[in-house]
Copies of this chain bind each other. A is one copy, B any other.
Amino acid sequence: MMNKKEALEKYERAKSKGEVDKDIISLLEKINSLPYFYTTSSCSGRIVLLNIPEIGDKKDAKFVCKWHREVDKKELVNCLKDYKEHYLFFIMQSPIIHIVASETEWANKLIKISLECGFKYTSIKKIESKKILVEVLSTENLHIPIGREGKIIVKEEQLTFFLEMANKLLIRAKGKLKCLEEKINSLLLSSS
């Protein structure tokens, strides 16, 4: 597991390149200002089109388009134009944040507040010499195969429905980040 200094340097580099989602920056910086936590990676939730060569082969999957915000139909349709081979999946994913806690007690506290905010899939990914890597994750997700061998197999009506659903789930999931930020704020206030 990387240490806090390395993690913060990595974060600053990513931020300066514009690679950190804007709607998660203030939450990440609050978490990192607490002495017993630091973040190692994050995504504020997204809608993606993913090209997968073989069923189950996520290793060789390629992002065709990726948005960390609501998407309108024109953008989606525009992105589909480049689809030529393999399977195409329309995917909506919850926000995800990886946070290292310096002690079990703090990891448990973090898990508790994450669950309270609705991040019901939060778990511990790794324990290494007392450091604990927590993954904050919510339940919103869509995972829909929409193309095969270069051919889109769903009609416009269905695509519209999937997109509306994905946008609603994204807004719902991103709302949970605000809740988490408030709870981290309370920790900051009580530790200062």
Contacts and interface: CB of A to CB of B under 8 A. Distances in A.
Interface residues of A, number: 30
A143 interface: yes
A140 B56 contact: yes
Given A55-B169, A169-B55, A148 B123 contact: no
A5 interface: no
Nearest to A162: B145
B172 A55 contact: yes
Contacts of A142: 143-145
Nearest to A155: B155
A37 to B, nearest CB: 17
Interface in A133-164: 135, 139-145, 148, 153-155, 157-158, 161-162
A155 B127 CA distance: 47
Contacts of A108: 127
A137 to B, nearest CB: 9
9 contacts: A55-B169, A108-B127, A123-B123, A123-B135, A143-B144, A145-B161, A148-B161, A153-B161, A154-B158
